[in-house]
């Protein structure tokens, strides 16, 4: 299983527009991707393609989240998702 930690860059965190952009990118991948707050138990991870789940995390600007995926291409997929989260999508 591949895993990445990333700091949320969007000023509003993973809310509304940033969550929508991120969920859409995850939904285009042929992999199941989960996201959780850093330090949370693995069981607390949610489906990263769900806007409601993303907003339910309550991830704010500067918070660290953990992305996980398994399968062929997982490393490249997570790298592209990290780039999205490291960008202020509200700028």
pLDDT tens, position by position, 20-58 = 999 999 999 999 999 999 999 999 999 999 999 999 999
On whether residue 22 sits in a domain, the answer given is yes
Q: What is the mean pLDDT of residues 4-18?
A: 96
The domain that holds 21 is classified in CATH as: 3.30.1340.10
Query: Does 91 fall in a domain?
Result: no
Residue 56 lies in a domain: yes
At 86 the pLDDT is: 97
- pTM for this prediction: 0.95
Tell me if 64 is assigned to some domain.
Answer: yes
Instruction: Give the per-residue pLDDT at 90.
Output: 81
Within a domain: residue 90?
A: no
24 assigned to some structural domain? yes
pLDDT at residue 75 is higher than 80: yes
Q: Residue 91 above 90 pLDDT?
A: no
| Residue 15 annotated among the catalytic residues of the structure | yes
Q: Which of 89, 66, 63 is nearest to 2 (CA)?
A: 66
When divided into structural domains, the chain yields a total of 1
For residue 84, the model assigns a pLDDT of 98
The whole-angstrom separation of Cα 59 and Cα 86 is 13
For 70, half-sphere exposure in the C-beta direction (CA atoms, 13 angstrom radius) is: 1
Domain assignment present for residue 15? The answer is yes
Q: How confident is the model at residue 10 (pLDDT cuts 50, 70, 90)?
A: very high
Range of the domain at 51: 2-85
Per the residue annotation, which of 15, 22, 57, 85 is the catalytic one? Answer: 15
The answer to whether 6 touches 67, Cβ cutoff 8 Å, is yes
């Amino acid at each position: 299983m591949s895993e990445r930690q990333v700091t949320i860059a969007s000023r509003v965190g993973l809310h509304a527009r940033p969550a929508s952009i991120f969920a859409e990118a995850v939904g285009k991948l042929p992999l199941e991707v989960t996201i959780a707050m850093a330090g949370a138990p693995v069981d607390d991870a949610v489906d990263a393609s769900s806007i409601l789940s993303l907003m339910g995390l309550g991830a704010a600007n500067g918070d660290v989240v953990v992305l996980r995926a398994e399968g062929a291409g997982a490393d490249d997929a997570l790298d592209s998702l990290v780039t999205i989260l490291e960008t202020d999508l509200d700028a």
